[in-house]
Amino acid sequence: SQTIHQWPATLVQPVGSPLSLECTVEGTSNPNLYWYRQAAGRGLQLLFYSVGIGQISSEVPQNLSASRPQDRQFILSSKKLLLSDSGFYLCAWHSGNNNEQFFGPGTRLTVL
């Protein structure tokens, strides 16, 4: 069965510090991968999605970037965090063969 991992689970970072969040998927090949942010009391905001290695689509202009160095690995990064980057970051995958999307456990980021 397919499993999606995210780490770290919780992160507290100072403003201006760098960020690296990692997501890996097991049990599937060539998944579509997604990064979402969920602010408190708000819906899911799509940040990036990827249909293959090295292919990244950005949905929202911001100080975040994403990379997909391997088929089942998706990384979210920032060179300098802002207070507004605080939120719950969710990675998700979609097989492309059906319409179901599955989420990871999330990373709660607090920028102070």
Candidate residues 90, 93, 109, 111; the one interacting with another protein per rule CB under 8 A: 90
The count of residues interacting with another protein (CB under 8 A) is 22
Question: Closest distance between another protein and the C-beta of residue 16, in Å?
Answer: 26
Return the structure tokens found at 5.
């991992």
Separation between Cα atoms, residue 107 and residue 22, nearest integer Å: 9
Question: Closest distance between another protein and the C-beta of residue 112, in Å?
Answer: 19
Query: CB-wise, 80 or 94, nearer to another protein?
Result: 94
Query: Read out DSSP for 6-59?
Result: EE-SEEEE-TT--EEEEEEEES-SS-EEEEEEE-TTS-EEEEEEEEETTEEEES
Applying the rule CB under 8 A, the residues between 28 and 87 that interact with another protein are 32, 34, 41-44, 46, 49, 51
Applying the rule CB under 8 A, the residues between 9 and 28 that interact with another protein are none
101 binding another protein? (CB under 8 A): yes
- Going by C-alpha positions, the residue among 63, 61, 64, 5 that lies closest to residue 33 is 5
Separation between Cα atoms, residue 70 and residue 75, nearest integer Å: 10
Binding positions for another protein, rule: CB under 8 A: 32, 34, 41-44, 46, 49, 51, 88, 90, 94, 96, 99-106, 108
